[in-house]
Amino acid sequence: MSVLERLAMPVLHRLDPEQAHDLSLLALRTGLGPRTGPVRGMRLATRVAGLDLPNPLGLAAGYDKNAVAIGPLLRAGFGFVEAGAVTPRAQEGNPRPRLFRLPVDGAVINRFGFNNEGAEVVAERLGRPRPEGVLGLNLGANRDSPDRAADYAELVARCGALVDFVTVNVSSPNTERLRDLEGRAALSALLRGVMERREELPRKPALFLKLSPDIALPDLGEIAELAMELQLDGIIATNSTVARDGLTDRQAIQAGGMSGTPLFERSTRVLAQLAYVTEGAIPLIGVGGVRCGETAYAKIRAGASAVQLYTGLVYGGLTLVPRILSELDTLLARDGFASVAEAVGTGRQDWL
């Protein structure tokens, strides 16, 4: 950790978790974060869904929900950044407290419920000048929407041309019955509607789908087949889980989605299964429990073309980003890979 992080982290961890989260965003906006730009290296540069990434490590959605710190985050070392989730209309989300640290387990439980300032505000921020870098936006549906599929299409129409990729998030466990949209028929109609609206844009973003780690294997296979049929640009595996396997922290009783270290094995097995079913036809992005170079490398070898993290930053700070990438570069070199792309899927069988 940097000196600043060593001083700040104990203070932040004495605050309410959501208050600490908001304070960390404020610190970035006032210039207290890293300013080095994306970490670069010959082995680390890669291409995913037509997007050229300086490195394969991205920031997952959920940290910068309202796109308030895009510039500082793009300068913090990441290969790409995903803002959101955003919904068409602003909404408060679930009652507080709704974010809980589980330091004993290296995990976090959240039940935010898509709290955000809405598409109009976020679109205005996305349209401002920012540093070069690959930027995505996670899309959600309003809790009280009479037509949730239409919400996603509306968001693509309003925000899609302002980012490099959009992610259809039907896998959050914190909006009631949202995961019902992961069923093949409902998901097919939703995605086709999104794709129709995307075709109307002057600048078309890549289209990703984010899946739950709790989905049954037969359903996972059906979704993978649908993704290939529709020629989606990528799948993000996975969101947080409602499972509590192996947790020992007293906060494990909290309702919501659990992320962090205990999610690593579950999410990586889903990733490997997707890689097996799709056979490289669709790029995969692995997320869930990435906290060091070894875990990032394991996801790549399981089938991920790129990876994301969020919870790891709660315990490791932003200096975790260059550290993971340095470790990953060393591991690629150790095993004789000249690039990330060469390593993708080489260890998939270990997770099946």
User: Which residue in the list 24, 172, 259, 267 is annotated as catalytic?
Assistant: 172
Bridge partner list, 211? 237
Rounded to the nearest integer, the mean pLDDT of the chain is: 95
Residue 267 contacts residue 289 (beta carbons within 8 Å): yes
> What six digits make up the tokens of 343?
């390593």
- Going from the C-alpha of 109 to that of each of 14, 117, 251, the distances in angstroms are 17, 22, 8
Could you give the CA distance from residue 249 to residue 237 in angstroms, rounded to a whole number? 25
Q: Could you tell me which of 186, 231, 228 has the C-alpha nearest to residue 204?
A: 231
Active-site residue flag, 172:
yes
How would residue 181 be classed by pLDDT, with cut points 50, 70 and 90?
confident
Evaluate if residue 23 carries a pLDDT over 70: yes
Evaluate if residue 2 carries a pLDDT over 90: no
* Encoded amino acid at 300, one letter: I
Query: CA 69 from chain center: how many Å?
Result: 16
Residue 109 contacts residue 254 (beta carbons within 8 Å): yes
Please state the domain extents for the chain: 36-351
* pLDDT tens per residue across span 61-86: 999 999 999 999 999 999 999 999 99
The CATH topology of domain 36-351 is: TIM Barrel (3.20.20)
What mean pLDDT is predicted for residues 305-317? 97
Could you give the CA distance from residue 88 to residue 42 in angstroms, rounded to a whole number? 40
* pLDDT tens per residue across span 222-255: 999 999 999 999 999 999 999 999 899 999 999 9
Least confident of 34-48, 167-181, 183-197: 167-181
What mean pLDDT is predicted for residues 172-196? 87
How would residue 35 be classed by pLDDT, with cut points 50, 70 and 90?
confident
Q: Could you tell me which of 268, 318, 340 has the C-alpha nearest to residue 47?
A: 340
Could you give the CA distance from residue 72 to residue 51 in angstroms, rounded to a whole number? 20
* Relative orientation angle of helices 293-302 and 264-278, to the nearest 10 degrees: 30
How would residue 1 be classed by pLDDT, with cut points 50, 70 and 90?
low
Least confident of 101-110, 170-179, 216-225: 170-179
Q: Could you tell me which of 272, 212, 274, 210 has the C-alpha nearest to residue 242?
A: 212
- Enter the pTM of the model: 0.97
Residue 84 contacts residue 140 (beta carbons within 8 Å): yes
